[in-house]
Amino acid sequence: MDLILDIAILLLAAKVGGELTEYAGYPSIIGELAGGIIVGTSVLGLIGDTSALERFADIGILLLMFLAGAETNLQELTKSAGSSVAVAISGVVFPFMLGYLAAVAFGYGASEGMFLGAALTATSVSITVRALFDIEKLNTSKGMTILGAAIIDDVIGVIIFTLVVGLAVQGELSALRIIEVIGVIIAFFLLSHFVVRRAMRRLFKYSRMLRTEEGTETFVIVFVLLFALVAEEAYIAGITGSFLAGIMLAQTHDRNTIIEKTKTVGYAFFIPLFFAFVGSRVDIWQILDVGAISVVVIVFAIVGKMGGSAIACKAIGMKIRDGLEIGIGMTPRMEVAIVIANAALTEGVFAVPLYTSVVMMSFATTLITPPLLKKFFT
């Protein structure tokens, strides 16, 4: 019953917070995160054990990314491929360098610097996608650039993480391991395009013959969840897998029906639950215990993405303002950064202050992105 109560509290906090921020003219995601903060660790402490709750919340982010894929303008995404590559590369190089320098400046060694740099490279595009959905800017050239760059970021991030683990933990670089990771990632994308996409279309025809109520929508959700799992096995984030699933299912005749029904399931329950859950885990008082390095990591995380994006966009002939706006969208970090920090802590590379700094950076960049997009994204 504790789990049921936790879900009820988070959903209520998310919807009340979302309604208040919508009334104030801001995206509802801000209120959902704030509602979670209020009922969570930082203020009221109403949420108990989060292990089971986290699994429910994870479904929300998968459905959100599926909807992003289903509503993506493929022509616009293809058109933005060049700028996405430039932003992704620049948005990885600069944060990595700044993270390394921050660790060294505070007296840490090269191993800590590499892990901190790796943690700063990964973009958590789910926050940006939800914010762009709310302000109806997802299917713009800049919105597509952010999406494309985030997917490329995901691939580069896996490779960097593999390199860092090899150098910092094992003391050697395994070329065979890098080739294996890259090969599996390439195979995943090729199979998705040439095999899964065609097989899914045929299976979808049979799903329409199901007599059970909402059988087709059940098929959609099962496909999204399984494809996300397969993506994770292929060293790619589950959210990238669900995004690709959305692109594939959007090419069927029932696209509009699928989107509307998935929105009903997602926005009524799973999606606001995810963002309220993220907020509930924030401990805003931890930053006082960590001190200056936490502030520096947060600032470098923001400057690295925004500066990197601005430089990349300027280099390919875009306006610097466009680059800064794209950089705002690339700013949030969450699950990948925390996974990298946790690996460093487990391996004995990170001390607790560095780990806490990465966690605080993840939550800080997550919280500031929606209002910045609302204010500056044109």
Any idea which of 138-147, 174-183, 225-234 has the lowest mean pLDDT?
174-183
Does residue 346 lie within any of the structural domains?
yes
Residue 166: per-residue pLDDT: 67
CA-based nearest residue to 274, from 114, 1, 43, 59: 59
- The predicted model gives 366-370 an average pLDDT of 85
Does residue 72 lie within any of the structural domains?
yes
Q: Check whether 356 has a pLDDT greater than 90.
A: no
Residues 38-59: pLDDT tens digits? 998 778 888 876 677 888 888 9
pLDDT above 90: percentage of residues in the chain: 13
CATH of the domain at 59: 1.20.1530.20
Does residue 150 lie within any of the structural domains?
yes
Residues 72-122: pLDDT tens digits? 777 777 788 888 889 989 988 999 999 999 988 988 888 888 888 988 988
CA torsion angle 354 88 377 30 (round to 10): -40
3-state secondary structure the chain: CHHHHHHHHHHHHHHHHHHHHHHCCCCHHHHHHHHHHHHCCCCCCCCCCCHHHHHHHHHHHHHHHHHHHHCCCHHHHHHCHHHHHHHHHHHHHHHHHHHHHHHHHCCCCHHHHHHHHHHHHCCCHHHHHHHHHHCCCCCCHHHHHHHHHHHHHHHHHHHHHHHHHHHHHCCCCCHHHHHHHHHHHHHHHHHHHHHHHHHHHHHHHHHCCCCCCCHHHHHHHHHHHHHHHHHHHCCCCHHHHHHHHHHHHCCCCCHHHHHHHHHHHHHHHHHHHHHHHHHHCCCCCHHHHHCHHHHHHHHHHHHHHHHHHHHHHHHCCCCHHHHHHHHHHCCCCCHHHHHHHHHHHHCCCCCHHHHHHHHHHHHHHHHHHHHHHHHHCC
Query: 319 with 76: CB under 8 angstroms?
Result: no
Residues 259-273: pLDDT tens digits? 888 998 889 999 999
Residue 173: per-residue pLDDT: 56
Higher pLDDT, 178 or 122: 122
CA-based nearest residue to 220, from 239, 246, 202, 194: 246
pTM across the whole model? 0.77
Does residue 33 lie within any of the structural domains?
no
Contacts of 104 (CB under 8 A, 6+ apart): 110, 113
Query: 238 with 155: CB under 8 angstroms?
Result: no
- How would residue 167 be classed by pLDDT, with cut points 50, 70 and 90? low
Does residue 13 lie within any of the structural domains?
no
Q: Check whether 188 has a pLDDT greater than 70.
A: yes
Quick one: how far is CA 170 from the chain centroid? 28
- The predicted model gives 162-179 an average pLDDT of 65
Does residue 139 lie within any of the structural domains?
yes
| Tokens 């995206």 found at | 27
Q: How far apart are CA 6 and CA 15, in angstroms?
A: 14
- How would residue 198 be classed by pLDDT, with cut points 50, 70 and 90? confident
Does residue 28 lie within any of the structural domains?
no
Does residue 1 lie within any of the structural domains?
no
- The predicted model gives 18-32 an average pLDDT of 84
Quick one: how far is CA 183 from the chain centroid? 23
Range of the domain at 210: 49-376
